[in-house]
Structure formats: structure tokens, C-alpha cells
């Protein structure tokens, strides 16, 4: 299995001792350059920060710091690995509990998958299917192929479900695109493509193409890969402007995060234009953790004779993600509360969501000035910068990712134990955005692991948080940020 993207092979350098960089140095370098990646021979990225040079020379002068950091790092990695091993037992228990979204009666063997796909699944360390995989796969693999609109909680394995459907349908000997998968963001498209590559590693001559900003295709050579994963804008250009993809030859069409992809506020025009050009026999698969009622109705109108897997609202939140809130007076109060929590809890990795790019920048500077090693990912960065930052975070080189809604959906980093809503997700009318709230907190607690979600709430926003609590019928507990004992107890 090979891929065609220049976004792979991202290799970041370690950055020990970076937290010792003085705040004056940071200011001199200027904030926007804090997370600039550099071009490398890999084509896309290498996440080396301009600060790296500075911290490195400091490190060179002070080898003790280096040793301490490496030791601490290795201990941290050991602890993270340990907790992952421990929680795999927890996952097995959940897979036997009929109330859990990870529950399954069947094994992967019983799902009638091809041998090479079973090998791919086991190579990824999966033992049993989750509920959504067990339910969706027989529908998706039925003959003739059927359409499906499927909802399942965050982190329950929707990706593997539709990836297996795509890999089961391609003909390796036909050298043109046969499956299309649309994702709302660059990061998610890359992540999904990597799942296809890993799961399809034993499928000989089946390849993936990434239709994302910055990836170019020679029109003379065309696309020979069978599976194309991309973002709507680029895919639209590839299909209609450059005529690189013949939509009449597509046999499986997947919309991941389907609710934003068809909601008129989202990517609707682009996704629907592609969907309309498909042949009637093309299988259409829509997946998401959330579907507002009107989006669901729209989905059922545009997808012919769909099978449906739907959750009730109270089933949407996951028990393994515990939710808290801290009442704050203003932004600097929120920051202090965040630092208290950060200082008292053992963090695998954390994602902090802010409502705007400006607040995200402000918070990044504050945290860096206070000596925390954090990175910032927001929409105004180039794809090269974004690829580098997310890769460094996946590799655990930064423990904290500060971001906007660009990372709210789909991103799967197992070590994320904490999500912080520095700001609540609100719609333009200042009402809570329930779907975004759920997707954000779902960046932790992946596949049954335990996760914590903290909401930093200004007093006047408390009614909005209560609405969220009421909407999902789930408990969000108040926390006193000055009470370290209470905070420490949360972990147990
Ligand atoms: N059957 C399985 N056994 C073990 N791990 C699995 C299985 N299926 C999926 N996973 C793992 O679970 C994690 C979450 O999967 P995935 O990203 O597909 O969730 P999702 O349902 O798409 O979530 P989201 O709604 O956040 O997009 C991934 O790390 C994936 O490798
Ligand atoms: Mg997903």
C-alpha cells in the first residue's frame, strides 16, 4: 500500500529545555513566528520552531538540563504507555457491556471481511469491532451495496467502519479513483488517509491519493490511486475544474462529519455538487457523531433509500468523559484557573479550545511566557505549518495544543486526557453550539479511555452551560479552581 501525498514523513526534532527560553526572547522573535515550520527534503514539513535554535544553543551550554529533560520525558512516556495498556483492559470490559458503544457480539471474522483486511485490522491492534462497526459493516457490505446514514459517539471507530467499506469495494487492477471520502479539514483528511494506508497495508496495489490544499497532480499522468481522500474545495477543483476524477466511476462516496458537510452553514454547496454528479448505483455513506434534526431530514432527502443508525440525544455523551466547569469573572481569571488545573493534574496531553484566533494567540503567548511548552494550531496557518504542528502534537513533542474549532472534529490523538473549553462554543446568535461542544470534548476519551473536560465559564455564560447540560442530560460538575485537593481528587 502506498500513498501519494507530500504531507507525509513529517519528522520533528526534539526540543528539550525549551521551557527555559526567556519571555524576552519570545517577544523579540515575535509571536506569529512561534510555530513556523521549515521546509525539508520531505517536501512538506519539519516542525522546527524558530525558538528551537535559541533553546538548542542554551541546551548545548547546559547539558544537565538535557539529561533531566530526557529522563523526565522517558518517565512521562512510560506512564502514558502504562495507562494505555491499563485502559485496553477497560476497553475489553466495555466491549462486553451491552450498554457501551464499544459493545459487540460478533468478531471481525464474522463480518465477512477479506483476509487481507483482517490482517490489516489485527496489525492495528483491534481485537473486536465496536457497536457501530458491528452494525454498519453488514449493511455496507451487503449485496447490492446499500446507502447508510450513521451516527455514533465520538471515538467509537466510525473511521474504521467506512474505511473497511471502501477497501472492500475497490478493484486493485483498475487504476483510477473508485472511492471518494470528504473530510471538513486538512488534518482530518490526512488522518483518515493514514488509517486507509494502515488498514489496507496488505491490499496489494491499492493506493490512496490526498486531495488537499498544496498537493498537486500532473494532469498528463492523472490519478491512478483507487481511493481519494480530501477536503471539499480541493476535491471540487479536481473533479470539475481539472477533470482529474471521473465521478461516474466512483462506487463508494463517504462524507465524514456529514452534518457539517451538508449543513448550509458548512460545506454544503461543494459536497452536494459532487454528490449530485455521482451515478445512481454509487454507494453513499454518511457518518457523524451529531446530526441536528433538520440536517438529518435533509440527509434523508438527498440520500436514496438509506439505512439509518441513529442515537437518542441522551446517548450522545460518553460516561468515560467526565465534565467540569469553573466559574470565572474574566479572561485573566480563566487563565489562572487553567494554570491551577494544569499544575495539579497529571496530563497525558491536552487540547485547549478558544472561540477566536485572537484569543488562541493571546493564550499561547501567556502560557509560553509562563514557561509552558504549548503549540498553536489555527486556520490562518499554512498547510505546511498545520501539518507540522499536528504531527509534533501526535508525537507528544508538545503536550498542549491550543486551537480553535478547526480541531474540534475527528482528530484522534489517544494520549489526550484533557480537553479545555477556554471559551464555550457559541453560534452567531450567542446560543450554545451543542454539536461543537460534543465534538470538542470528544477529542479525549477515545475508544473507551478515560477523559476529563473542563469548561472555563464567565458568570454571565453560566446559563448557556446549563443549557448544554440540559440538552445532553449529562452532569457538568462545578470545580473550585483554588481547591487543589479537590482538583487532584478528580484524577482518581
Ligand atoms: N475495533 C477497534 N478496536 C480497538 N480500537 C479501535 C477499534 N476501532 C477504532 N479504534 C480506535 O479508536 C479510536 C477512535 O476511532 P475513530 O477516530 O474512528 O473514532 P470516530 O468514531 O470517528 O470519532 P469522532 O466522532 O471523534 O470522529 C482510534 O484510535 C481507532 O484506532
Ligand atoms: Mg471520526
What is the widest separation between alpha-carbon atoms in the chain? 68
Q: Is the CB of 157 under 6 A from ligand 1?
A: yes
Q: Which-ligand-closest: CA of 194? A: 1
Q: Which-ligand-closest: CA of 439? A: 1
Q: In what order do the strands lie in the sheet with 374-377?
A: 374-377, 400-403, 349-353, 416-421, 451-458, 321-328, 476-478
The span from the CA of 470 to the CA of 484, in Å, is: 28
DSSP 154: T
> How remote is the CA of residue 275 from the centroid of ligand 2, in Å?
20
What residues of the chain score a pLDDT lower than 50? 5-74, 76-85
H-helix segments, 239-382: 258-262, 268-276, 293-302, 331-344, 357-369
Closest CA to ligand 1's atom 2: 126
Residues around ion ligand 2, judged by CB within 5 A, are 158-159, 410
Closest CA to ligand 1's atom 27: 410
Predicted local confidence at residue 4, as pLDDT = 53
Indicate the pTM of the whole model.
0.84
Q: Is the CB of 472 under 6 A from ligand 1?
A: no
The span from the CA of 417 to the CA of 408, in Å, is: 15
Evaluate whether 224 touches 175 at the Cβ level (below 8 Å): yes
Q: Is the CB of 131 under 6 A from ligand 1?
A: no
Give the cell for residue 459: 458568570
Q: Which-ligand-closest: CA of 90? A: 1
Domains along the chain?
Answer: 70-311 (3.40.50.300), 321-490 (3.40.50.300)
Predicted local confidence at residue 347, as pLDDT = 73
Q: Which atom of ligand 1 is nearest to the CA of 410?
A: 27
Amino acid at each position: 500500500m502506498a500513498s501519494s501525498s507530500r504531507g507525509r514523513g513529517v519528522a520533528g526534532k526534539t526540543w528539550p529545555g525549551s521551557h527555559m527560553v526567556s519571555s524576552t526572547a519570545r517577544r523579540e522573535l515575535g509571536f506569529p513566528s512561534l510555530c513556523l515550520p521549515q521546509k525539508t527534503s520531505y517536501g512538506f514539513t519539519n516542525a522546527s520552531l524558530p525558538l528551537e535554535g535559541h533553546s538548542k544553543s542554551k541546551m548545548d551550554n547546559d547539558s544537565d538540563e538535557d539529561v533531566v529533560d530526557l529522563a523526565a520525558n522517558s518517565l512521562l512516556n512510560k506512564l502514558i504507555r502504562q495507562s494505555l495498556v491499563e485502559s485496553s483492559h477497560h476497553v475489553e470490559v466495555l466491549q462486553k457491556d451491552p450498554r457501551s458503544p464499544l459493545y459487540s457480539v460478533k468478531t471481525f471474522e464474522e463480518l465477512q471481511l477479506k483476509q487481507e483486511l483482517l490482517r490489516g485490522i489485527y496489525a492495528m491492534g483491534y481485537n473486536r469491532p465496536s457497536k457501530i462497526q458491528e452494525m454498519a459493516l453488514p449493511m455496507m457490505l451487503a449485496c447490492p451495496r446499500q446507502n447508510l446514514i450513521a451516527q455514533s459517539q465520538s471515538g467509537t471507530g466510525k473511521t474504521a467502519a467506512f474505511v473497511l467499506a471502501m477497501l472492500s469495494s475497490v478493484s486493485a487492477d483498475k487504476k483510477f479513483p473508485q472511492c471518494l471520502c470528504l473530510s471538513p479539514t486538512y488534518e482530518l483528511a490526512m488522518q483518515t488517509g493514514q488509517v486507509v494506508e494502515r488498514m489496507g497495508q496488505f491490499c496489494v496495489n491499492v493506493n490512496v491519493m490526498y486531495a488537499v490544499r498544496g498537493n498537486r497532480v500532473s494532469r498528463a499522468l492523472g490519478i491512478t490511486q483507487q481511493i481519494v481522500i480530501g477536503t471539499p474545495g480541493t476535491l471540487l477543483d479536481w473533479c470539475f475544474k481539472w477533470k482529474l476524477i471521473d465521478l461516474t466511476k466512483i462506487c463508494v462516496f463517504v462524507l465524514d462529519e456529514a452534518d457539517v458537510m451538508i449543513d448550509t452553514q458548512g460545506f454544503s454547496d461543494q459536497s452536494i455538487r459532487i454528490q449530485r454528479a455521482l451515478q445512481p448505483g454509487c454507494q453513499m455513506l454518511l457518518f457523524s457523531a451529531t446530526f441536528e434534526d433538520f440536517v438529518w431530514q435533509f440527509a434523508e432527502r438527498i440520500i436514496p433509500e438509506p439505512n439509518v443508525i441513529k442515537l437518542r440525544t441522551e446517548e450522545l455523551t460518553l460516561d468515560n468523559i467526565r465534565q467540569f466547569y469553573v466559574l470565572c469573572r474574566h479572561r485573566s481569571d480563566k487563565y489562572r484557573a487553567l494554570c491551577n488545573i494544569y499544575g495539579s493534574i497529571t496530563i497525558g496531553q491536552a487540547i485547549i479550545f478558544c472561540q477566536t484566533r485572537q484569543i488562541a494567540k493571546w493564550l499561547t503567548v501567556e502560557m509560553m511566557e509562563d514557561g509552558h511548552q504549548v503549540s498553536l494550531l489555527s486556520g490562518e496557518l499554512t498547510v505546511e505549518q498545520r501539518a507540522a504542528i499536528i504531527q509534533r502534537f501526535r508525537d507528544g513533542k508538545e503536550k498542549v495544543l491550543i486551537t480553535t474549532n478547526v480541531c474540534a472534529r475527528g482528530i484522534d490523538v489517544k494520549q489526550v486526557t484533557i480537553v479545555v473549553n477556554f471559551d464555550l462554543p457559541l453560534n452567531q446568535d450567542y446560543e450554545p453550539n451543542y454539536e461543537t461542544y460534543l465534538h470538542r470534548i470528544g477529542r479525549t476519551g477515545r475508544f473507551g479511555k478515560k477523559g476529563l473536560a473542563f469548561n472555563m465559564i464567565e458568570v454571565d455564560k453560566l446559563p448557556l452551560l446549563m443549557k448544554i447540560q440540559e440538552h445532553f442530560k449529562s452532569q457538568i460538575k462545578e470545580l473550585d479552581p483554588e481547591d487543589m485537593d479537590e482538583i487532584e481528587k478528580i484524577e482518581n
